[in-house]
Amino acid sequence: MKSSHISFYFVLYIVAIITVFVITGERDELLRQRDEDIAHLIEIYIKPLRLTAYADTARFFLDMGVKACVLTLGGDGAYYHDRDGLKFHVPAFDIAVKCTCGCGDAFDAGFAVALNHDFDAETAVRFAQATSALNATGLGSQAGVKDFEHTLAFMKTTKTKR
């Protein structure tokens, strides 16, 4: 699909109707540029806003109606900010990275599982980070992820980069 077929307002509509918006990627990226359409939208609509801080980036989406925003920061951990004012940064786990293929998807899946288990926001982000970190310890997508209990134990016992 070419960029001309995607309406920025459609993207805003989608963002406005979701409850939690997870942004995966490095600090300098608002969204992972997986395809030309997203890259084009970022270039035209997001970069001119000059969002420089995590809070600024989250506030952009919160102002559109999202209830919470999570930014993954690769080796720097993750940042959470919600509409009620709760915001925090948690460091990444201190692991030997083998492959980062699928880490963003693993984070999203871990976050969804954590929410399904009624974890509080910080524990949900930690669980999501644990899922992503385990993914990065193996070769290929989800290679290091075994099951819920293993991920929970990893989250509770593995040191962070602090």
How large a percentage of the chain has pLDDT more than 70? 67
- Are residues 74 and 124 located together in one domain of the fold? no
In which domain, by residue range, is 85 found? 1-90
8 A C-beta contact, residue 24 and residue 70: no
Give me the residues paired with residue 23 across strands.
71
Do 24 and 55 share a structural domain? yes
Q: 100 and 130, same structural domain?
A: yes
Task: Among 35, 56, 90, identify where a domain stops.
Answer: 90
Which of 86, 97, 83 is CA-nearest to residue 123? 86
Highest mean pLDDT among 72-76, 104-108, 118-122, 137-141: 118-122
Record the pTM.
0.72
Domain count, the chain: 2
Q: What angle do helix axes 103-116 and 121-136 make, rounded to 10 degrees?
A: 140
The HSE-up count of residue 147 (CA atoms within 13 Å, CB side) is 1
Tens of pLDDT along 5-46? Answer: 445 555 555 555 455 656 555 433 444 434 455 556 656 655
How far is residue 97's CA from residue 50's CA, in Å, rounded to a whole number?
31
SS3 126: helix
Are residue 42 and residue 83 in the same domain, yes or no?
Answer: yes
Is the Cα dihedral 145, 146, 152, 157 positive or negative? negative
Residue 98 and residue 154 in one domain: yes
pLDDT in tens, 36-83: 555 566 566 556 655 557 888 888 888 888 889 998 888 889 999 999
How confident is the model at residue 23, as a pLDDT?
57
For residues 15 and 21, the answer to whether their CB atoms sit within 8 Å is yes
